[in-house]
Amino acid sequence: MAKRRNIELMVGAFVALGLVALFFLAMRVSNLSLSASGEGYLLQARFANVGSLRVRAPVTMAGVRIGRVESIRFDKHTYEAVVSMRIDPAVDSIPDDTFANIFTAGLLGEQYIGLEPGGSPEVLRDGDEIVNTQSALVLEQMIGQFLFKKAGESG
Amino acid sequence: MLEAVARLGRGVLDALERLGRAHLLLLAILLGLGEVLRRPRLLIDQLFNIGVLSLSIVGVSGLFVGMVLGLQGYYVLSQFGAAESLGVMVAASLVRELGPVVTALLVAGRAGSALTAEIGLMKATEQLAALEMMAVDPVHRLLVPRFLGGVLAMPLLAAIFSAVGVLGGYFVGVGLLGVDEGAYWSQMQARIDFTADLANGVVKSLVFGLVVTWIALFQGYDTIPTAEGVSRSTTRTVVHSALVVLGLDFVLTALMFGD
Amino acid sequence: MDEAQPLRVDEAPGPDVLVEIRGLCFRRGERVIFEDLDLDIRRGMVTAVMGPSGTGKTTLLQLITGQLHPEAGTIRVAGEDVGRLGRDGLYRLRRRMGMLFQSGALLTDLSVFDNVAYPLREHTKLSDSLVRKLVLLKLEAVGLRGARDLMPNELSGGMARRVALARAIALDPMMVLYDEPFTGQDPISMGMLMALIRQLNDASGLTSILVSHDVRETARIADHLYLIFEGRVVAQGTPDALANDRSPWVRQFLDGLPDGPVRFHYPAPPLAEDLFGGRG
Among residues 128-147 of chain A, which lie with CB inside 8 Å of chain B? none
- Is the pLDDT assigned to residue C4 strictly greater than 50? no
State which residue of chain A sits closest to B188, comparing Cα positions: A29
Is the backbone of residue C231 left (phi > 0), alpha (psi -120 to 50) or beta?
Answer: left
Neighbouring C-beta atoms of residue A95, cutoff 10 Å: 15
B142: which chain C residues are within 8 Å (Cβ-Cβ)?
Answer: none
Chosen for mutation from B46, B134, B137, B140 (greatest number of chain C CBs closer than 10 Å) is B134
Taking the Cβ of residue B227 and every Cβ of chain C, the question of whether any pair is shorter than 8 Å is answered with: no
More confident residue, B48 or C247: B48
Coil, helix or strand at residue B227 = helix
CB contact under 8 A, B134 and C105: no
Q: Identify the H or E element spanning A132.
A: strand A132-134
Q: What is the mean pLDDT of residues B201-227?
A: 94
Predicted confidence (pLDDT) per residue in C216-234, tens digit: 888 888 899 988 888 888 8
CB contact under 8 A, C67 and B129: yes
DSSP characters over B73-117: HHHHHHHTT-GGGHHHHHHHIIIIIIHHHHHHHHHIIIIIHHHHH
Q: Decide: A31 and B192 in contact? Cβ < 8 Å.
A: yes
Q: Decide: B129 and C65 in contact? Cβ < 8 Å.
A: no
Nearest to C157 by CA among C176, C184, C177, C196: C184
CB contact under 8 A, C94 and B130: no
CB contact under 8 A, B130 and C105: yes
* Residue C106 C-alpha, separation from nearest chain B C-alpha, in angstroms: 6
Q: Look at residue B54 in the predicted model and tell me its pLDDT.
A: 93
* Residue C107 C-alpha, separation from nearest chain B C-alpha, in angstroms: 6
Across the B:C interface, residue pairs with CB atoms under 8 Å apart total 47
* Residue in A7, A11, A18 closest to B159 by CB: A18
Nearest to B221 by CA among B206, B207, B236, B209: B236
Give CA separation, C64 vs A142, A147, B157, B187, C176, in Å: 90, 96, 47, 70, 11
State which residue of chain C sits closest to B39, comparing Cα positions: C122
Chosen for mutation from B41, B52, B84 (greatest number of chain A CBs closer than 10 Å) is B52
Residue B7 makes CB contacts below 8 A (sequence gap 6+) with none
Q: Decide: B89 and B73 in contact? Cβ < 8 Å.
A: yes
Which pTM was predicted? Answer: 0.78
- What integer best gives the mean pLDDT of chain B? 91
A10: which chain B residues are within 8 Å (Cβ-Cβ)?
Answer: 48, 52
Predicted confidence (pLDDT) per residue in B129-177, tens digit: 889 888 888 999 999 999 999 999 999 999 999 999 999 999 998 889 8
Q: Look at residue C10 in the predicted model and tell me its pLDDT.
A: 45
State which residue of chain B sits closest to A65, comparing Cα positions: B190
Nearest to C118 by CA among C167, C70, C169, C184: C167
Q: What tens-digit pLDDT sequence spans chain A (155 residues)?
A: 567 778 888 888 898 999 999 888 887 776 654 445 567 889 999 999 888 887 778 888 998 888 888 889 999 999 999 999 988 888 888 888 899 999 887 666 678 899 998 888 888 888 888 888 888 877 777 788 888 888 887 75
Predicted confidence (pLDDT) per residue in B80-90, tens digit: 888 888 888 99
Q: Look at residue B258 in the predicted model and tell me its pLDDT.
A: 67
Domain ranges of chain A: 1-32, 41-143
Predicted confidence (pLDDT) per residue in C35-90, tens digit: 888 888 888 889 999 887 777 778 888 888 888 888 888 888 888 888 888 888 88
Q: Look at residue C15 in the predicted model and tell me its pLDDT.
A: 59
Name beta bridge partners: C224: C47
As a whole number of angstroms, the distance between CA A60 and CA A76 comes to: 28
Taking the Cβ of residue A122 and every Cβ of chain B, the question of whether any pair is shorter than 8 Å is answered with: no
Coil, helix or strand at residue A82 = strand
Q: Decide: A52 and B225 in contact? Cβ < 8 Å.
A: no
State which residue of chain B sits closest to A3, comparing Cα positions: B45
Nearest to C177 by CA among C72, C54, C63: C63
Coil, helix or strand at residue C101 = coil
Nearest to A46 by CA among A135, A141, A120, A138: A135
Q: Is the ipTM here above 0.85?
A: no
Position B71 confidence tier, pLDDT thresholds 50, 70, 90: very high
As a whole number of angstroms, the distance between CA A14 and CA C64 comes to: 47
CB contact under 8 A, B192 and A29: yes
Taking the Cβ of residue A55 and every Cβ of chain B, the question of whether any pair is shorter than 8 Å is answered with: no
B53: which chain A residues are within 8 Å (Cβ-Cβ)?
Answer: none
CATH topology of domain C17-96+173-262: Rossmann fold (3.40.50)
CB contact under 8 A, A22 and B189: no
Name beta bridge partners: A129: A44
CB contact under 8 A, B126 and C95: no
Q: Look at residue C12 in the predicted model and tell me its pLDDT.
A: 46
| C touches A, CB cut-off 8 Å, minimum 3 pairs | no
The distance from CA C155 to its chain's CA centroid, rounded to whole angstroms, is 23
Taking the Cβ of residue B132 and every Cβ of chain C, the question of whether any pair is shorter than 8 Å is answered with: yes
B136: which chain C residues are within 8 Å (Cβ-Cβ)?
Answer: 118, 122
Position C2 confidence tier, pLDDT thresholds 50, 70, 90: very low
Q: Decide: B18 and B219 in contact? Cβ < 8 Å.
A: no
As a whole number of angstroms, the distance between CA A93 and CA A66 comes to: 12
Nearest to B172 by CA among B53, B49, B89: B89
**Type of residue found at B88:** V
Q: Look at residue A155 in the predicted model and tell me its pLDDT.
A: 55
Q: What is the mean pLDDT of residues C252-272?
A: 80
CB contact under 8 A, B82 and A28: no
Q: Look at residue C87 in the predicted model and tell me its pLDDT.
A: 81
As a whole number of angstroms, the distance between CA C52 and CA C186 comes to: 21
**Residue % of chain B over a pLDDT of 70:** 99
Q: Look at residue B110 in the predicted model and tell me its pLDDT.
A: 94
- Is the pLDDT assigned to residue B24 strictly greater than 80? yes
- Is the pLDDT assigned to residue B20 strictly greater than 50? yes
CB contact under 8 A, B133 and C95: no
Chosen for mutation from C122, C177, C178 (greatest number of chain B CBs closer than 10 Å) is C122
More confident residue, C212 or B61: B61
As a whole number of angstroms, the distance between CA B234 and CA B243 comes to: 15
- Is the pLDDT assigned to residue C7 strictly greater than 60? no
Q: What is the mean pLDDT of residues C184-193?
A: 85
* Residue in A10, A30, A107 closest to B81 by CB: A107
Q: What is the mean pLDDT of residues C262-276?
A: 82
Q: Decide: B103 and B56 in contact? Cβ < 8 Å.
A: no
Residue A93 makes CB contacts below 8 A (sequence gap 6+) with A123
* Residue A4 C-alpha, separation from nearest chain B C-alpha, in angstroms: 9
